[in-house]
Amino acid sequence: MNRYLLYFAPIITLFAISCGESSVDQAAQSITAESLMSHIEVISSDEFEGRAPATRGEDLTVDYLIETMEGMGIAPGMDDGSFTQKVPLLGQQVDGSSAVMNIRRNGQVAQQLDYRTEFMAWPSNEAERVQLRNAELLYVGYGIQAPEFEWDDYKGADVEGKVLVFKNSDPSNDPEIFEGDSRLYYGRWSYKFEKAEEMGALGAIIIHTTPTAGYGWSVIENSWGRERFALKGEEDAGSKPEFNGWMTEEQSEYLFDQAGLSLNEQLDAAENRNFEPVLLSGVTLDVNLSAAYSDMSTRNVLGQIKGSDPDLADEYVVFTAHYDHLGITTPVDGDSINNGALDNAAGVSAVLEMAKAYKEIEPEMRRSALFLFVGAEEMGLLGSLYWSQNPTVHPGKITANFNMDGMQVYGETEDVVLVGYGRNTITDVIKQYAEQGGRVVKPDPNPEQGFFYRSDHFSLARVGIPAIFPNPGRDYVNKPEDFIEKVDSLSAVNYHSVGDEINEYWDLSGMEKDVRLFFRSSFHILNADEMMLWEEGDEFQAIREEMLMQAP
């Protein structure tokens, strides 16, 4: 007998069937605040120890997901008949006590930087040691190559054997390119490092400023100063740049000054498409790093329901939610368990409840549904990245991705926010069903933060899959006037902390309404004659067309 049955409502929900009510409406009504809460209560409990990868908490979570889906009658999602996909990981810990970065002027050491407080760096090629002396530095502005915007910051420069210095973010002074104030992937730090690898550079340094990063140096220090994880590489060490890193604004200003340049002037110059790379003449860099490595693994959990249309059953809608969180950390007021109730037990619950509802109307599904619970999201979207590189369904056979990461747990709202609003045709479908319910769909209110690139749907978008990332609305119904300020305060305090637990402000009536909306919208997409598309000119349109051509 399933040992978790006591925790959640029965799978087959009994409810009154009104005259003329469709089976889809009936299935949607099986998604209730109570059934949603039942899953959250289990996997965000102290028993699950914060669900960190490669821990007892992960084992418990994976068992819960599998047993719950088996109880619903959901089939395994792997070709071998299992529910799990192993994700190999490599942990890296830099020895901060021996880390060195020296700025040299005309061969003489002019400045010794302090690890953590003035620079962060790490080997980027799985090497145990990095030892560079007198490495040349080339400032490449934003370091972007975007032919669709007629933008190339490299202008044919020879970068081999040089450390590239990048301005963070992407150009924002022209609303006609790079989506104006919105941050595209070109503006993400990961793009800069990937570009350095592609160009064959010796290393990469990003200049940190709070405006271009969207956060202070302490975030860099805390995020990159602990053990880092990546997908375990199959290539030989040494195939990437030797190191990646960040430098504070103050030390970057000193670096440019030693080359007779003004940092502010060079940052401003990067806004122009006529920018050309600038060699920091007379200035070189020493970098000494050592790192230790550890092997570990996590798991993705997959279930599926097959469609009934012989012409469309090999096409899918994919529902994603990451099940991992931060695990057990340093105690705060005696509490050391990062329960991750909102982030992301709530999203896991949403996908489970949609899976349950779909099982009730399985014969009416033309396409198939894949329920993908990914691990190691908090380590850098690693579970979803691994799946995108080792997909169980060809990306060209997937019409859409709905990613559930954090839900509306504080009550009903008149609106719902879509990160990725207007970028693909999924938006139109959700708007249609929201309007039927008297609600309004709004875009991300903070596009400059680049949230589209910070959750698991991005891994799927990178291989062309039209993806959407719903977020909680902000126009609360029947709440005090200052309620939004209370919600914002709770979110800020509890994010990635031991405080992310079910509390007295939780009201899942809003989550119930949202998940029903996403269920109805996704059912429409499952049964539509045509697949979803990226809008003309979107950065993922070209890879989408390529994947559609390659699909079997």
Q: Which residues make Cβ contacts (< 8 Å) with residue 454, sequence separation at least 6?
A: none
Q: Is residue 239 part of a domain?
A: yes
Whether residue 406 sits in one domain with residue 287? no
Q: How many helices (H) does the chain have, and how many strands (E)? A: 15, 21
How far does CA 39 lie from the centroid of its chain?
A: 22
Of 127, 114, 90, nearest in space to 230 by CA = 90
- 394 burial level (CB within 10 Å; 0-12, 13-18, 19+): middle
Q: Specify the pLDDT at position 226.
A: 80
Domain that residue 271 falls in: 92-294
Query: In this structure, are 163 and 215 located in the same domain?
Result: yes
Q: 287 and 330 share a domain?
A: no
Structure tokens at 132: 């560079």
Dihedrals phi, psi of 502, to nearest 5 degrees: -60, 130
| 449 and 373 in a common domain | yes
Name 18's Cβ contacts closer than 8 Å, sequence gap at least 6: none
Q: Is residue 190 part of a domain?
A: yes
Would you say 366 and 527 are in contact if contact means Cβ atoms under 8 Å apart? yes
pLDDT at residue 234, as a whole number: 55
Would you say residue 100 lies in a domain?
yes
Which among 235, 262, 294 is the end of a domain? 294
What gap in Å lies between CA 89 and CA 316, rounded to an integer?
Answer: 28
- Structure tokens given for 159: 């970068």
What is the value of pTM for the model shown?
0.87
**Cα 197-198-204 angle, rounded to 5 deg:** 35
DSSP of 238-295, one letter per residue? TSS-SEEEEE-HHHHHHHHHHTT--HHHHHHHTTSTT---EEEEEEEEEEEEEEEEEE
Quick one: which of 397, 349, 419, 324 has its CA closest to 52? 324
**Inside any domain, residue 175:** yes
Q: How far apart are CA 545 and CA 151, in angstroms?
A: 22
3-state secondary structure of 471: strand
CA gap 275, 440 in Å, rounded: 42
Q: How far apart are CA 205 and CA 192, in angstroms?
A: 9
CATH number of the domain encompassing residue 471: 3.40.630.10
Residues 169 and 120 in one domain: yes
The CATH number of whichever domain residue 196 belongs to comes to 3.50.30.30
Residue 433 lies in a domain: yes
Among the candidates 249, 274, 294, a domain finishes at 294
Same domain, residue pair 405 and 281: no
Q: Would you state the pLDDT for residue 10?
A: 36
- Residue 217 shares a structural domain with residue 270: yes
- Give the start-end residues of each E strand in 340-412: 368-374, 398-403
Which of 344, 302, 293 lies closest to 454, judged by CA? 344
Q: Are residues 337 and 204 in the same domain?
A: no
**Regions in the chain scoring below 70 on pLDDT:** 1-20, 234-239
Domains contained in the chain, number: 2
Identify the residue whose tokens are 């209730």.
Answer: 32
| Helical ranges in 76-231 per DSSP H | 189-199, 210-213, 217-224
Final residue belonging to a domain, choices 237, 265, 294? 294
- 303, 69 contact by CB (below 8 A): yes
